[in-house]
Amino acid sequence: MDIYLEPLVEELKQLWEGVRAYDASTQCPREDRWFTLHAISMWTIHDSPGLGFISGLAVSGTKGCPTCRPHLEAQYSPSLRSTYYLGHEKYLPLDHPLRNGCIDPTTMTMLDYCVLETRIQEEEIPRASFGVNRMSILMELPYWDACASVVDGVDFPPYMLK
């Protein structure tokens, strides 16, 4: 996937630095009509499998949630041939009777994953233990750690989107 995104990333790096342009709606490109154009890609919008493709993170199995991965409690059931997740009461409202005193979940940003990737490379920790399959080429963009990945809700049941 990264090989297809490489030309886009190169252009986005150029646009981040600034490209000299002029207003084409004016009839002649006089010197006073030139300006420096800056642009960024603010979001990627995709479904859950697309998130795994773009980000290089695992989106299924025991490390399947990119947001709560460090605190994710999941087990594989051979009899069900499926992964099941534990501890979802922490996502209930604070005053909900089924919450049972769980702490609030923390979320990870793309910068956190970049730091994690560096730590994995330096300490030779197995990537699979964190759910990181590869480092995305989009992390080469100087601003990407602040950008969000918007996951489309088509893969989620309606009760999870509320």
Q: How far apart are the first and last CA of the chain?
A: 32
Q: Looking at residue 161, what is its pLDDT?
A: 38
Q: Looking at residue 109, what is its pLDDT?
A: 63
Q: What is the C-alpha to C-alpha distance for residues 115 and 44, in angstroms, rounded to an integer?
A: 21
Per the structure block, which two tokens stand in for 114? 């970049």
Q: Looking at residue 100, what is its pLDDT?
A: 66
Write out residues in the chain with pLDDT < 70, as ranges.
Answer: 28-29, 66-71, 88-91, 97-133, 145-162
Say how far residue 114 (Cα) sits from the centre of its chain. 11
3-state DSSP assignment of residue 86: strand
Measure Cα distances from 145 to 42, 66, 127, 137 in Å.
10, 14, 19, 12
Among 72, 108, 65, 63, CA closest to 90: 72
Whether pTM exceeds 0.75: no
Backbone angles phi, psi at 59, to 5 degrees: -125, 15
